[in-house]
């Protein structure tokens, strides 16, 4: 499906999945590319971000954001090129981040958009290492995990968009950083390319024993993306005064009923801090992070990896995949060509 | 058993309880009241404090303090009168807090003792409302729960030494305060004497329904002393950005194996803070609390209730009782008479 100047394609929710979603839960809708109203901007989508939080939007019960309704367009952050503008701040040819939707074209209020530089970092990075996932890692590490030199920090989903940045930030703070990832290829990447001190394969027979061996001084901070058996193994190794940044628990996002969790007695005795957070609660942190991290991306000291699916038609399958850990790096859908 | 000038009585651990302790797990030992060495002070015990944390000391595995060994004297805070001193800062007749042990007489390094005023608050209050339990409530409320006017705060074990102070501090901050306690008599006390807005009887058939009805705007902060079913019911009602001060989980202290806890998915979505703490980590807070609260105790605006067992021989039964929620207010053993 190629991008068309007059036809808009949009993925809408057809029915709510129970358990693992399937591409069949979504329907592709076609209509005309709209004209912008006053204060609105129409973009053609270049990049669409696929993130685990989207599974929560498919639940009937509200999680931390309003559920997607049946027939409604799926949400997702995009980078796009302005093709028509009803606002004087934007003109055709501008490249922007902030429009949302699994769509070939988005209509967005101008005040939600941020113009991106045409020089410098690749546009896709504004959805990953320089975007919401990077800012998520930044907040979790600096505000909650607060690693100190010599401490041990564990990061789950270590090769993913958030985990890869979280671990590299903990390394910059001088901590020993141990990743947890799925499979030998990801673990190698986490150690060799991201520079973590070690990475445990959570598919291994004895996660708990390997984690214990890799954290001989216990665990001082944990950046939680996964939950489940990994959470249980990490919690047993937490040190007194340790910090847990609760960013996500992707291992259970497809579960209709959540399983019991850890007994919290250890939280008292070990004076553990467990703090949930959502990056969008502090939107100002995104710009702060971009300013901080852009030079690191430019000079190559902040590594990242992207997993690109080609074409808007791939969006549902990409979401199914990320919930099963099939992506390798920041998951993106290329919807349209870069501006010329 | 009356206090004797030459014979010392001490409760030692005979064997580790599995499940609920029994007085038979302890043995009463008799020896001579010792002479103080250089820098040591000998006190005769007036009041002995009995607290839920003591159950943790009976476990083989270390919790947050070193386990009591078989044959070792049980630990516990006391108020006592100095009868002999090897340190120039203390003289016979001084009344002090800081000596530890289920004993008629304690030998203590002078630098662990704090002299108490002979005028003012009753001596027993230095083990309760003005002592470690009061300071525990103070830290949990001011550092973690941080209630704001109009918020809803829930306190479990609300009639106990810690909970009673925690709830009154939350009331002073302008919050709506809901207690959870065991039985109608305690609930009445929590509302009428302590001034909480409501109190739920956790023995009621439908704790969850009653708590929901009593917290129509959800729960913004929880002071956790109990765990178990109360914790589960409270967690389900936590609001976004709520705070949980993890002070203790007495409902499980007698359990050989801790049961599973809550699934922590809600912590992410609701950005919940769960923070464990132990009062003795900031010993300086005790003096701060005493200075702050002594006028409130004197003018009657900080209410408290004591549950006094008479005689050192009652200490083991008192501990068994507090773990089953049988105490009503701060649990104390009167070991000797007040100084004349």
Q: CA–CA separation, B261 vs B231, rounded Å?
A: 9
Q: Check pLDDT > 90 for residue B122.
A: yes
pLDDT tens across B195-222, in order?
999 999 999 889 999 999 999 999 999 9
Q: Check pLDDT > 90 for residue B60.
A: no
The whole-chain average pLDDT of chain A stands at 95
Q: What is the mean pLDDT of residues A309-315?
A: 98
The alpha carbon of residue A233 is apart from the nearest alpha carbon of chain B, in Å, by: 14
A47, HSE (Cβ side, Cα atoms, 13 Å): 25
Q: Check pLDDT > 70 for residue B62.
A: no
Chain A contact present for B263, CB below 8 A: yes
pLDDT, position A62: 65
Q: DSSP letters of B206-226?
A: THHHHHHHH-TT-EEEEEESS
pLDDT tens across A27-56, in order?
999 999 999 999 999 999 999 999 999 999
Contact B273 A276 (CB under 8 A): yes
pLDDT, position A1: 63
pLDDT tens across A210-228, in order?
999 999 999 999 999 999 9
Q: Tell me which chain A residue has its CA closest to the CA of residue B240.
A: A64
Residue ranges and CATH numbers for the domains of chain A are 7-128+304-334 (3.90.180.10), 132-280 (3.40.50.720)
Of A147 and B120, which is predicted with more confidence?
A147
pLDDT, position B278: 96
Which of B156, B157, B246, B278 should one mutate to test binding to chain A, selecting the residue with the greatest count of A CBs within 10 A?
B246
pLDDT, position B61: 75
Q: Which residues of B touch A268 (CB under 8 A)?
A: 64, 246-249, 276-278
Q: Check pLDDT > 90 for residue B149.
A: yes
Report the alpha-carbon angle A69-A70-A74, nearest 5.
70
Chain A contact present for B274, CB below 8 A: yes
Q: Which of B246, B261, B276 sits opposite A260 (nearest CB)?
A: B261
Contact A277 B270 (CB under 8 A): no
Chain B contact present for A67, CB below 8 A: no
Q: What is the mean pLDDT of residues A187-199?
A: 98
Largest Cα span, chain A? 63
**Which of A257, A141, A258 is CA-nearest to residue B264?**
A258
Which of A218, A222, A229, A276 should one mutate to test binding to chain B, selecting the residue with the greatest count of B CBs within 10 A?
A276
The alpha carbon of residue B242 is apart from the nearest alpha carbon of chain A, in Å, by: 10
Q: CA–CA separation, B314 vs B73, rounded Å?
A: 15
Contact B271 A276 (CB under 8 A): yes
The alpha carbon of residue B158 is apart from the nearest alpha carbon of chain A, in Å, by: 18
User: Are A22 and A320 contacting, i.e. CB atoms less than 8 angstroms apart?
Assistant: yes
Distances (CA, A) of B314 to A46, A201, A337, B68, B85: 76, 55, 81, 19, 28
Q: CA–CA separation, B259 vs A128, rounded Å?
A: 39
Q: What is the mean pLDDT of residues A88-112?
A: 97
Chain B contact present for A232, CB below 8 A: no
Helix H or strand E encompassing B192: helix B184-192
Distances (CA, A) of B27 to A320, B10, B11, B313: 63, 8, 6, 10
Q: CA–CA separation, A294 vs A106, rounded Å?
A: 26
Q: Quick check: helix, strand or coil at residue A200? A: strand
User: Are B45 and B336 contacting, i.e. CB atoms less than 8 angstroms apart?
Assistant: yes
Q: Quick check: helix, strand or coil at residue A204? A: coil
pLDDT tens across A235-263, in order?
999 999 999 999 999 999 999 889 999 99
């Amino acid at each position: 499906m190629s991008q068309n100047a007059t036809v808009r394609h949009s993925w809408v929710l057809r029915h709510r999945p129970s358990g693992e979603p399937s591409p069949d839960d979504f329907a592709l809708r076609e209509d005309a590319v709209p004209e912008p109203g006053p204060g609105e901007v129409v973009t053609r989508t270049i990049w669409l971000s696929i993130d685990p939080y989207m599974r929560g939007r498919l639940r009937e019960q509200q999680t931390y954001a309003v559920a997607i309704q049946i027939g409604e367009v799926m949400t997702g952050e995009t980078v796009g090129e302005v093709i028509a503008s009803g606002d004087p701040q934007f003109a055709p040819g501008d490249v922007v981040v902030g429009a949302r939707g699994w769509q070939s074209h988005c209509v967005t209020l101008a005040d939600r958009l941020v113009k991106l530089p045409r020089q410098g970092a690749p546009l896709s990075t504004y959805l990953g290492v320089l975007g919401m996932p990077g800012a998520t890692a930044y907040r979790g590490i600096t505000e909650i995990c607060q690693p100190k030199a010599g401490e041990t920090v564990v990061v789950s989903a270590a090769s993913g968009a958030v985990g890869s940045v979280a671990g590299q930030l903990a390394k910059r703070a001088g901590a020993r950083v141990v990743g947890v990832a799925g499979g030998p290829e990801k673990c190698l990447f986490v150690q060799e390319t991201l520079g973590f001190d070690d990475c445990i394969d959570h598919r291994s027979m004895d996660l708990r024993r390997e984690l214990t061996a890799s954290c001989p001084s216990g665990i001082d901070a944990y950046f939680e993306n996964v939950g489940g058996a990994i959470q249980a193994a990490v919690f047993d190794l937490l040190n007194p005064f340790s910090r847990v940044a609760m960013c996500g628990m992707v291992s259970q996002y497809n579960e209709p009923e959540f399983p019991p969790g850890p007994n919290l007695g250890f939280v008292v005795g070990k004076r553990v801090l467990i703090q949930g957070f959502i990056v969008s609660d502090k939107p100002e942190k995104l710009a702060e992070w971009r300013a901080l991290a852009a030079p690191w991306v430019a000079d190559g000291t902040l590594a990242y990896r992207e997993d690109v699916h080609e074409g808007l038609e791939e969006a549902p399958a990409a979401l199914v995949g990320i919930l099963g850990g099939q992506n390798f790096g920041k998951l993106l859908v290329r919807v349209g060509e870069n501006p010329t």
